[in-house]
């Protein structure tokens, strides 16, 4: 039904399998890849990110990354990840309150997983993923307005941009970090 999505999942899975040397990290990223893709499609269609997927995804990733941190002595990484998994949803919750519902609570719940996974790499990756999400969302939103596909007050599913930000950030973040630190 969705051959492009299936191809994306296969290519992404192969990419993560080749990139991560830990089977636990690889499985965490592949789970995020597949669940995040499903969440993106649901959010695009229904403008909702269902709790039945966002919350179990977080618990599964928390378990996998917790186990990886114990087995591979990555306690400091896990602390950064756990902190990011609390602060990033708080950021989205504040945006929800400021925008009076413009930013959905489902986005804050997805930020639990995205903050956790990106934070397990480092804090800069969380910032990079968030920046990428807002940059892509802005580009698509402005393009839709300019092309007459939507109006200024139209809603835009933001879950797919959070998802893409997390998928892109691990590879873009090291280059950006070098630029920032000159």
**pLDDT, tens only, 105-164:** 999 999 999 999 999 999 999 999 999 999 999 999 999 889 888 787 778 899 999 999
How buried is 28 (Cβ within 10 angstroms: 0-12 exposed, 13-18 middle, 19+ buried)? buried
pLDDT higher than threshold 60 for residue 178: yes
Long-range contacts, stretch 11-15, CB < 8 angstroms, 24+ apart: 12/167
pLDDT digits (tens, 9 = 90+) for 8-44: 777 777 777 777 778 899 899 999 999 999 999 999 9
Q: Which pLDDT score is estimated for 2?
A: 66
Cα angle: 144, vertex 156, 103; to 5 degrees: 140
Alpha helix stretches (DSSP H) within the chain: 3-19, 23-46, 51-71, 75-98, 105-119, 123-146, 159-181
pTM, two decimals, is 0.90
CA 62, CA 56: separation in Å to the nearest integer? 10
CA 21, CA 42: separation in Å to the nearest integer? 31
Contact yes or no for 24/67 (Cβ under 8 A): yes
Q: Which of 120, 113, 29 is nearest to 78 (CA)?
A: 120
């Amino acid at each position: 039904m969705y051959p492009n999505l299936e191809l994306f999942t296969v290519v992404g899975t192969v990419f993560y399998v080749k990139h991560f040397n830990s089977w636990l990290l690889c499985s965490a990223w592949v789970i995020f890849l597949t669940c995040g893709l499903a969440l993106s499609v649901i959010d695009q269609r229904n403008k909702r990110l269902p709790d039945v997927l966002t919350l179990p995804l977080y618990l599964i990733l928390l378990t996998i990354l917790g186990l990886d941190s114990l087995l591979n002595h990555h306690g400091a990484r896990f602390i950064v990840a756990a902190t990011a998994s609390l602060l990033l949803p708080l950021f989205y919750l504040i945006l929800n309150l400021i925008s009076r519902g413009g930013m959905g609570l489902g986005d804050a719940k997805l930020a639990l997983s995205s903050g956790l996974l990106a934070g397990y790499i480092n804090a800069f990756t969380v910032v990079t993923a968030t920046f990428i999400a807002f940059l892509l969302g802005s580009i698509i939103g402005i393009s839709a307005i300019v092309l007459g596909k939507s109006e200024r007050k139209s809603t835009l599913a933001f879950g797919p941009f959070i998802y893409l930000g997390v998928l892109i950030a691990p590879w873009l973040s090291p280059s950006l970090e070098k630029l920032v630190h000159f």
